């Protein structure tokens, strides 16, 4: 009798443990669901079942005036490498003209629909003379003058000046903010050996974390103001990894075209 009672007691305890575990799992599931709904509500680009509402196409660029370098590379070999990278960017923009472009080079938005066009009239004429037939079909078809202007000013500038797009969006709120930040970075670099740049230093964080976050905040503002946007082009140095800032834009929302993947340096 005692043995039967003991088995019954153990069975009853097991039953309640299973019930408690089931309830705990349900509560945990509901909590996760609630948390996910909250994230979706607070982050307009949170990936839903059908994927991210807005896709961020990251184009890693190789450019001369890299803020993380005290000595911009300007040799003929470097010009070829930079021009090739920038040509791919200009060509991507040409083939995807409806996606808004956010560029590392731009402190604030430049639009050819407003007074900026008049300000850039001379530059536009210069690009038209340098690219009389527009962008060539292949990077190998670039002449020396075209390589120089792409290496110096970037593929996004070429696309803008050649009329392939009508605006480039800034990655900070104003050119003054960007100029101040770049000045601080260059001053810091002049006092630090590049090989000793500590990832935990304030200078490193300014070069990477701060600038990346500022860029993503600008994209987020644009997307919230333009809810029909499906894709955004982000041009930034090849050393930057934006997926680290999933609190601003989820890491699942990024993609890099195959022809750019080998340029990634992080």
> Using CA atoms, how far apart are residues 79 and 239, in angstroms rounded to an integer?
19
**How far lies 168's CA from each of 113, 158, 232, in Å?**
11, 11, 11
Domain boundaries defined on the chain: 1-42, 55-261
**Structure token pair of residue 134:** 């527009």
- Confidence (pTM): 0.77
The per-residue pLDDT for 77 is 64
Band of pLDDT at residue 97, cut at 50, 70 and 90:
very high
Q: What is the pLDDT of residues 150-191, one digit of tens each?
A: 999 999 999 999 999 999 999 998 888 888 988 888 888 888
The per-residue pLDDT for 71 is 42
* Structural contact between residues 158 and 127, judged by C-beta atoms closer than 8 angstroms: yes
Taking 50 as the threshold, does the pLDDT of residue 56 lie above it? Answer: yes
Cβ atoms < 10 Å from Cβ of 224: 12
Q: What is the pLDDT of residues 99-153, one digit of tens each?
A: 999 999 898 899 998 888 888 999 999 999 999 999 999 999 999 999 999 999 9
Read off the pLDDT of each residue in 26-52 and give the average, rounded to a whole number. Answer: 47
The per-residue pLDDT for 181 is 87
What is the distance in angstroms between the CA of the first residue and the CA of the last residue of the chain?
71
**Structure token pair of residue 150:** 């792409």
Taking 80 as the threshold, does the pLDDT of residue 36 lie above it? Answer: no
- SS (HEC) of the chain: CHHHHHHHHHHHHHHHHHHHHHHHHHHHHHHHHHHHHHHHHHCCCCCECCECCCEEEEEEECCCCCCCCCCCCCCHHHHHHHHHHHHHHHHHHHHCCCCCEEECCCCCCEECCCCHHHHCHHHHHHHHHHCCCCCCCCHHHCCHHHHHHHHHHCHHHHHHHCCCCCEEECCCCCHHHHHHHHHHHHHHHHCCCHHHCCCCCHHHHHHHHHHHHHHHHHHHHHHHHCCCCCEEEEEEECCCCHHHCCCCCCHHHEECCHHHHCCCCC
* Structural contact between residues 61 and 236, judged by C-beta atoms closer than 8 angstroms: yes
* Structural contact between residues 234 and 208, judged by C-beta atoms closer than 8 angstroms: no
**Structure token pair of residue 189:** 């670099």
- The residues near 178 (Cβ < 8 Å, ≥ 6 apart) are 107, 108, 170, 171, 172
**Structure token pair of residue 196:** 């000793």
Q: Which residues pair with 102 in a beta bridge?
A: 169, 234
**Structure token pair of residue 201:** 């230093």
């Amino acid at each position: 009798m005692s043995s039967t009672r003991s088995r019954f007691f153990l069975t009853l305890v097991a039953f309640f443990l299973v019930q408690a575990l089931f309830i705990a799992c349900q509560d945990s599931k509901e909590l996760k669901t609630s948390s996910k709904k909250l994230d979706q509500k607070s982050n307009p680009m949170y990936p839903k079942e059908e994927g991210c509402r807005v896709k961020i196409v990251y184009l890693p660029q190789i450019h001369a005036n890299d803020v993380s370098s005290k000595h911009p590379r300007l040799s003929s070999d470097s010009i070829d490498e930079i021009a090739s990278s920038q040509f791919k960017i200009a060509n991507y923009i040409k083939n995807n003209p409806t996606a808004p472009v956010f560029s590392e080079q731009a402190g604030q938005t430049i639009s050819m629909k407003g007074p900026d066009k008049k300000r850039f009239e001379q530059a536009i004429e210069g690009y038209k003379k340098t690219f009389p037939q527009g962008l060539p079909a292949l990077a190998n078809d670039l002449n020396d003058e075209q390589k120089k202007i792409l290496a110096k000013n970037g593929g996004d500038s070429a696309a803008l000046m050649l009329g392939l797009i009508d605006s480039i969006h800034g990655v900070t709120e104003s050119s003054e903010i960007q100029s101040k930040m770049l000045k601080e970075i260059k001053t810091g670099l002049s006092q630090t050996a590049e090989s000793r740049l500590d990832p935990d230093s304030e200078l490193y964080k300014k070069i990477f974390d701060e600038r990346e976050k500022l860029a993503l905040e600008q994209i987020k503002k644009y997307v919230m103001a333009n809810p029909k946007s499906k894709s955004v082009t982000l041009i930034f140095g090849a050393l930057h990894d934006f997926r680290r800032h999933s609190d601003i834009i989820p890491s699942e929302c990024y993609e890099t075209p195959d022809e750019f993947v080998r340029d990634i340096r992080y």
